[in-house]
Chains A and B, each alone.
Chain A
Amino acid sequence: MNRRKFLKISLASAGALTAAACGGSSSAAPAEIHFGAGLPLTGGQAREGSLFKKGYELAAKEVNDTGGLMIKEFNKKIPVKLTMLDDKSDPTASVQVYEKLATEDKVNFFLGGYSTPLVQAHSIVPQKYSIPYVNGGGSTGEIYQRNNKWIFGLITNIERLATTLIKFIAAQQDAGKLPKPVKIALLVENTSHGKEFVKGVEDAQKASPDRYQVVLNEAFELNIKDADPLMQKLKATNADVFLCDARVADYTTIHRRYVELGLKHKVVSYGPRGPEKAARDAIGAGSNYIVAANWWNSALVDEPSKAFTAKYKAAYANEDPEWFAALGYETARVMFAAIEQAGTLDKTKVRDAIAATKMKPSLVIGGEVSFDTDGQIKNDYMMTQNLPDGKVAVIWPSTLASQAAIVPIP
């Protein structure tokens, strides 16, 4: 072996050893992992959007405080970077925001937006650019039934919400607190959200006509300004139970008129709405005893919920967390965990890791995150009841309940 040949072999061996020491990768590790989210930071849903933002920021801070996400491919921890853009609560702008995140900001991964119509609109973008997307703000099953393999949702569908309320009503019937059959008045927003809610109740009625009788089934347009005609119609039905599926703004408007007219039912629910502070402040004592089926609440006393509430309060000036922030936090955690599990920033491998997620403990009801084949979680709802003085009690399921539900409403 001559000197020139020896030098070549030595340099090649040194190079191979260096590459092996760096994890065997042929590409350099990025300085940061870039996540993009489009959130309603102004406009009608700015409040909820800002709570999701806080959840994302809290999860990112936690990771960055430990040096970042451990990526096996680079054998090092890489910090995370969030870019959160404002979609102005507008579905069209929401699509544009995610397009921008993909093409201009060139994010590695997407975190989801809020609310259902906005998620429904922009959830086509992840598939277009093959970028994994996890959200905690879009609930309707329609979002996930489009054979889109790049989107995952942490909140279970609305049909299950209706089913949860129906199971709760059945339990009250069995306890002798509600009649059989119980007359149900149903008002829903005129969206896929509302339609799924109606389907859940109607399926229950078909299965058990001896238990449930729907005496009113009406849809109303979003952002209702005067609920008076609707409440007059409700009044004429003499229902036992009033179930409504509505956004926070519509819940406030409708229930205010409900209280003004002196209406009363044995059970009142606005679906996932009820304990929101802004709404309770706006309605006052009239919001007492409303029951809500929801994805999370700070009244939960399981260990993950207690830990999150404490962390959130410490980070945000003792502010009580609402489910929007909790689901934002959990959405980011699921994405982070899947990336670490995949050990790479390869988008397809990360998507597969998200699909295979079995994360526990978790804030979601049931304590474990796993996704169905359509990409949506299929866990249960929990239920709360508003109590006087702004308090909230967990009333369902019995394993999480802090007290029995007050039925009928006093």
Chain B
Amino acid sequence: MCFQISILNSQFQILMSFDTFLNLFAASILTAGLYATMSYGLALIYGVMKLTNLSHAGVLMLAAYGTYWLNTLGISPYLAPFIVVPLWFGIGIVWQHTLVKRIMLMPPIASLLFFFGIWLIMQNFAYLVFKSDIRSITNEATLLTYKLGPLVLSQNRLIVFFAGITALVSLQLFLTRTYQGRAIRALAADAEAARLSGIDTDRISALAFGLGIALAAFAGCLMALIFAFDPEFGRSHLLKSFCIVVLGGLESFVGVALGAIMLALAENFSIQFMPAALQDMVSFVLLVIVLLTIPNGLMSLLKGKK
């Protein structure tokens, strides 16, 4: 392309070609799809149950291994979510009935420690079963790219992006068009009022928790298509998810999607004019800025309240 975009910095000037800008923008949007998908589960569980699920990272990691393991059995990684996600939904329900509901009434530190402990158990389980070798799902299909003019788009990233969009739309439809979805929203808004209006809060809590875990597992399946992983996988993504959920506003899925876009754009563009070693810092700087300026998240801006 014949023109350039100038980004002026107080100390120096960076010239970025239009091709680079376009590729960065596209990469940011595709990455945002993944970021949003990996944050929905965390937002749902926090929104409904006010629990910070630190084991979210463990579910991402074990779901990635699940996809890998199914792939070794000859099941396409694109079909793996149809097996892995329902399985984790079931695990989430059982988990909520047996363990989580006991800690819901305890001080927040108890639930934080509980979920942290679960995460450590998951990691050690993965070390025991899968060892520390780095794994990745690689075949011709996963490495396929499409060239659209100056744009280079990876098939996997496109699939992950559209899967993320599908998850967002499905989640919104479920929460607005079904009885269970409306009950989840009622529970999130006011648990006592929901109970008084006849909602079986135990059952709906279990459903919400199972759904949150299933969404994390779905993200883990998608991430296995893109990233190499080991038992430590998920740690940095958990931190990003926290950042996105706070950016978007703690209880809004559209806000989560907006937060994901904002973070992905900030990460991808900032690295072009600052050291790559500071990439992880971007999310935390963004988090601090948002907490100081718009503590209720991006959605509060759209709704006109700070």
Contacts and interface: CB of A to CB of B under 8 A. Distances in A.
Interface of A: 42-47, 89, 187, 190, 218-221, 223-226, 228-230, 232-233, 235-236, 248-249, 252-253, 256, 259-262, 278-279, 281-284, 286
B268 A229 contact: yes
Interface residues of B, number: 40
A230 B267 CA distance: 10
B140 to A, nearest CB: 8
Contacts of B280: 221
A188 B233 CA distance: 21
Given A221-B280, A228-B268, A253-B228, A260 B134 contact: no
Interface in B226-242: 226-228, 230, 232-233, 236-237
Given A44-B230, A223-B232, A229-B268, A256 B276 contact: no
Interface string B120-144: 0000000100011111101100010
17 contacts: A42-B127, A44-B232, A47-B132, A220-B277, A221-B277, A225-B233, A225-B236, A225-B237, A226-B31, A228-B31, A229-B24, A229-B271, A230-B271, A230-B276, A261-B152, A262-B147, A283-B136
Given A253-B228, A260-B145, A233 B276 contact: yes
Interface in B142-173: 143, 145, 147, 152, 154, 156-157
Contact of B131 (A47, A260, A283): A47
A281 B276 CA distance: 27
A43 B27 CA distance: 32
Contacts of B135: 282
B137 to A, nearest CB: 9
A256 B271 contact: no
B236 A223 contact: yes
For the complex of A and B, the 7 pairs showing the least CB-CB separation, nearest first, are A282-B136, A46-B132, A229-B271, A284-B138, A252-B228, A190-B277, A260-B154
A187 B279 CA distance: 14
B20 interface: yes
Given A232-B24, A249-B134, A260 B143 contact: yes
A381 B138 CA distance: 31
A281 B139 CA distance: 10
Contacts of B201: none
Contacts of A223: 232, 236
A170 B194 CA distance: 74
B6 interface: no
Contact of B134 (A42, A226, A228, A278): A278
A221 B131 CA distance: 23
B275 interface: yes
A233 B17 CA distance: 11
A45 B228 contact: no
A284 B236 CA distance: 25
A218 B138 contact: no
Q: Count chain B CB atoms within 10 A of each CB in A44, A89, A232, A283 and give the residue with the most.
A: A232
- Say whether chain B's binding surface is mostly helix, strand, loop, or mixed: mixed
Nearest to B223: A225
Interface of B: 16-17, 20, 23-24, 27, 31, 127, 131-136, 138-139, 143, 145, 147, 152, 154, 156-157, 226-228, 230, 232-233, 236-237, 267-268, 271-272, 275-277, 279-280
A256 B230 contact: no
B276 A284 contact: no
B227 A253 contact: yes
A42 B226 CA distance: 25
Contacts of A230: 271, 276, 279
A278 B277 contact: no
A253 B279 CA distance: 15
Contact of B143 (A224, A236, A278, A286): A286
Contacts of A89: 132
Contacts of A262: 145, 147, 152
Given A47-B133, A229-B279, 18 more contacts: A43-B132, A44-B230, A219-B276, A220-B279, A221-B279, A221-B280, A225-B233, A225-B237, A228-B27, A229-B24, A230-B279, A232-B20, A232-B268, A252-B228, A260-B154, A278-B134, A279-B134, A284-B143
Contacts of B272: 229, 232-233, 236
Contacts of B268: 228-229, 232
A236 B276 contact: no
A115 to B, nearest CB: 13
B230 to A, nearest CB: 6
B133 A278 contact: yes
A281 B136 CA distance: 8
Nearest to B278: A221
Contacts of A281: 136
Nearest to A236: B20
Contacts of A248: 134
A91 to B, nearest CB: 15
Nearest to A221: B277
Contacts of B138: 256, 282-284, 286
A262 to B, nearest CB: 5
A313 to B, nearest CB: 20
Contacts of B133: 47, 278
A284 B139 contact: yes
B152 A42 contact: no
Contacts of A42: 127, 132
Contacts of B156: 260
A249 B230 contact: yes
A282 B20 CA distance: 28
Nearest to A187: B276
B64 to A, nearest CB: 12
Contacts of B24: 229, 232
Contact of B228 (A187, A190, A229, A256): A256
Contacts of B131: 46-47
A187 B268 CA distance: 17
A225 B152 contact: no
B238 to A, nearest CB: 11
Contacts of B271: 229-230, 232-233
Nearest to B267: A229
A252 B134 contact: yes
Q: Count chain A CB atoms within 10 A of each CB in B145, B147, B157, B277 and give the residue with the most.
A: B277
